[in-house]
């Protein structure tokens, strides 16, 4: 009797998986799109970190599907394991390094998803974003592991290394030199990877919870870390006439800063979103990030040579003939 077994990998395309236990987290919501990234190989990946008192279920109605499908981006929303205060990411407590707390978990989550063949994630296109305490945690994690995270996008978050008291209303001033010193100390021997990391900083103009001083302070800090200068002028980014943001850029598009017009202390989700601390007043930030990261990623080889297949060599009368098929390549 001849027996045949067919093995297939699970398909996640175009759907949410909820409350997945992975990478040290008990509950992670993961959306895997049908589309592929316009650069590199496979999908990109963005981890999105919730704010204080904000359940991760709120991000199921934050228009992440639109961003994921438009840019071939897997989106993963983990529920913090080591919470502090009002279910915040504990960015102001404990050691800040690769082997501690949720820093370790976030690195493990990124690596676990990237190594899952069924999700087809390009490890050169892994990013981390967050809101409020999640923003500060995302920024510090990007400092801890710049080799893992090619881009970082904190929204409405305090500056790295600040205290919990600096998160509410007051502004805890951090100089550019202090920012660089802190971030490089978190990175340790991995600090050379800052040469190819990019950052997007955002804040709502109507935020009365976390001081808006942190927007420019965070942008200036990452710019100093990358050794670049701010460009003159601003550009209005819009989803429609009522949902807009003001964009400032730094050299080589290494840093972008957004002011979300009319947005309070919420994740900027664009039209039709719902949930606590997710608001529709401004642009779909996730969609913006998908486009910005794909356009400006510094780690993907955009000048890769053609893929060659069916290569054969024939020797006839002392003449060597080589034939091959060249595959059509997408832009890299």
Q: How does pLDDT run across 255-287, given as a tens digit for each residue?
A: 999 999 999 999 999 999 999 999 999 999 999
* Range of weakest confidence among 105-119, 212-226, 300-314: 300-314
Share above pLDDT 90 across residues of the chain, in percent, rounded to a whole number: 84
- Across the chain, mean pLDDT equals 91
CA distance 227 to 184: 13
288: how many CB neighbours lie within 10 A of its CB?
25
CA distance 80 to 176: 29
**Does the structure show a pLDDT above 70 at 307?**
no
Q: What is the pLDDT of residue 318?
A: 58
- Residue 8: pLDDT band (50, 70, 90) is very low
Q: What is the pLDDT of residue 167?
A: 86
| SS3 assignment, position 103 | helix
Torsion of CA 187, 190, 193, 194, to 10 degrees: 20
* First-residue to last-residue Cα distance in the chain: 49
CA distance 245 to 229: 21
* H or E, element range at 43: strand 43-49
pLDDT, tens digit (0-9, with 9 covering 90-100), for 38-66: 999 999 999 999 999 999 999 999 999 99
CA distance 284 to 156: 15
Question: Which of the pair, 302 or 287, is modelled with greater confidence?
Answer: 287
Give the contacts of 311 (CB within 8 A, at least 6 positions apart). Answer: 322, 323, 324
What class does CATH assign to 15-304? alpha beta
262: alpha, beta or left? (left if phi > 0; alpha if psi -120 to 50)? left
Q: What is the pLDDT of residue 161?
A: 97
**Does the structure show a pLDDT above 50 at 3?**
no
Q: Are 234 and 247 in contact (CB under 8 A)?
A: yes
Q: What is the pLDDT of residue 313?
A: 62
233: how many CB neighbours lie within 10 A of its CB?
8
* Range of weakest confidence among 78-87, 124-133, 215-224, 301-310: 301-310
- Residue 324: pLDDT band (50, 70, 90) is low
Q: Where are the alpha helices (DSSP H) in the chain?
A: 64-71, 101-114, 133-144, 176-187, 213-226, 285-296
pLDDT, tens digit (0-9, with 9 covering 90-100), for 105-120: 999 999 999 999 999 9
CA distance 151 to 88: 22
- Residue 197: pLDDT band (50, 70, 90) is very high
């Amino acid at each position: 009797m001849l027996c045949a077994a067919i093995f297939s990998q699970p398909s996640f395309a175009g759907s949410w998986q909820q409350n997945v236990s992975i990478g040290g987290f008990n509950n992670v919501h993961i959306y895997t799109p049908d589309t592929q990234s316009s650069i590199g190989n496979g999908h990109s990946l963005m981890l999105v970190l919730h704010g204080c008192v904000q359940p991760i279920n709120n991000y199921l109605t934050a228009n992440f599907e639109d961003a994921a499908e438009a840019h071939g981006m897997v989106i993963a929303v983990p529920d913090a394991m080591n919470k502090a205060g009002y279910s915040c990411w504990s960015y102001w407590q404990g050691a800040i390094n690769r082997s501690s707390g949720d820093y370790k978990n976030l690195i493990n989550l990124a690596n676990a998803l990237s190594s899952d063949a069924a999700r087809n994630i390009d490890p050169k296109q892994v990013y981390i974003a967050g809101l409020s305490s999640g923003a500060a945690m995302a920024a510090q994690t990007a400092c801890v592991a710049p080799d893992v995270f090619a881009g970082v996008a904190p929204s409405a978050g305090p500056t790295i290394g600040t205290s919990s008291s600096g998160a509410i209303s007051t502004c805890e001033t951090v100089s550019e030199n202090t920012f660089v010193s802190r971030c490089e100390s978190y990175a340790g021997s991995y600090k050379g990877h800052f040469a190819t990391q990019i950052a997007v900083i955002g804040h709502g103009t109507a935020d009365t919870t976390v001081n808006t001083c942190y927007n420019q302070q965070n942008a200036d800090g990452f710019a100093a870390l990358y050794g670049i200068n701010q460009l003159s002028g601003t550009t209005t980014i819009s989803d429609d006439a009522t949902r807009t943001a003001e964009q400032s850029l730094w050299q080589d598009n290494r840093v972008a800063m957004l002011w979300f017009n009319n947005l309070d202390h919420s994740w900027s989700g664009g039209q039709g979103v719902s949930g606590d601390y997710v608001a529709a007043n401004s642009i779909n930030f996730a969609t913006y990030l998908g486009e910005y990261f794909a356009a400006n990623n510094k780690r993907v080889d955009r000048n890769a040579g053609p893929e060659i297949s069916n290569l054969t060599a024939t020797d006839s009368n002392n003449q060597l003939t080589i034939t091959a098929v060249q595959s059509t390549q997408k832009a890299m």
